Amino acid sequence: MQRNKLRATRRILRAVIRVITWVAAGALGLMVTIIVINVVGRYVLNRPLTGTVEIVQVVLVMTVFLSVAHTEVREAHIAFNEVVIRFPQRAQSIVMGVVSFVAAAYFILMAWQEVVLSVGYIVPTISGTDVLHIPVFPFMYIIAIGAMLLGLELLLNGFFLLSPEDGRKDEVT
C-alpha cells in the first residue's frame, strides 16, 4: 500500500516536472532567438540588441534550473560509481538511497534559502539588472522551484531505493 502511494506521488511529481521542462525548453528557444536577433542586428544592421547579455543570463537561469529535475528523472546526471557497483545489489541500493537523501536535503535546503534570499531582493535598492533593470527576485524563485523539484525527485528516489524491492527503474518517463 505504501509503495502505491509512492508511485502515485512520483507520477504527480513527474507530471509537474514534464510541464516545467517544457517551460525550460521554451526559455531555451527564447534565448536562441534573442542571440540570433542580436547577431543579425550587430553584423547586418550595425545595431545590436541592447541588454542581450542580461536577457540571456536570466533566461539561462530559467533553462538550467527548470530542467535539472528532468535530468534526474532521466538518470542523466554525471555519476561516479566505480566503487558502489562492486557491492552486492542490496548494498548498492542502500548506499545510493542514502546519497539520494543527502542530495535531497541539500537541494531542499537550497530552495528554502533561495526563497529567504529573494525576499531581500524585492526591496527596490537591489531589485534589477544594470542595463535593462530586469527584476532579479522572480528568477530567484525559479531557482527555488527547480531546486525543490530536484530535491523532491531525489527524496522519492531514496525511498524507492531503500524499499524492499528496488523501484528506481519502474517508472522513468
What DSSP string describes 144-157? HHHHHHHHHHHHHH
Q: Give the whole-angstrom CA distance, residue 21 versus residue 67.
A: 5
Q: Are 48 and 76 in contact (CB under 8 A)?
A: no
Q: What is the DSSP letter of 48?
A: P
Q: What is the pLDDT along the chain (173 residues), one digit of tens a residue?
A: 577 888 899 999 999 999 999 999 999 999 999 999 999 999 999 999 898 999 999 999 999 999 999 999 998 888 777 888 888 888 888 998 999 999 999 999 999 999 988 887 776 656 777 788 888 888 989 999 999 999 999 999 999 888 876 444 544 44
Sequence ranges of the domains in the chain: 2-162
Q: Are 133 and 57 in contact (CB under 8 A)?
A: no
Q: Give the whole-angstrom CA distance, residue 124 versus residue 89.
A: 54
Half-sphere exposure of 142 (CA within 13 A, CB side): 21
pLDDT value at residue 1 = 55
Rounded to two decimals, the pTM is 0.84
Q: What is the DSSP letter of 173?
A: -
Half-sphere exposure of 11 (CA within 13 A, CB side): 6
Q: Are 162 and 97 in contact (CB under 8 A)?
A: yes
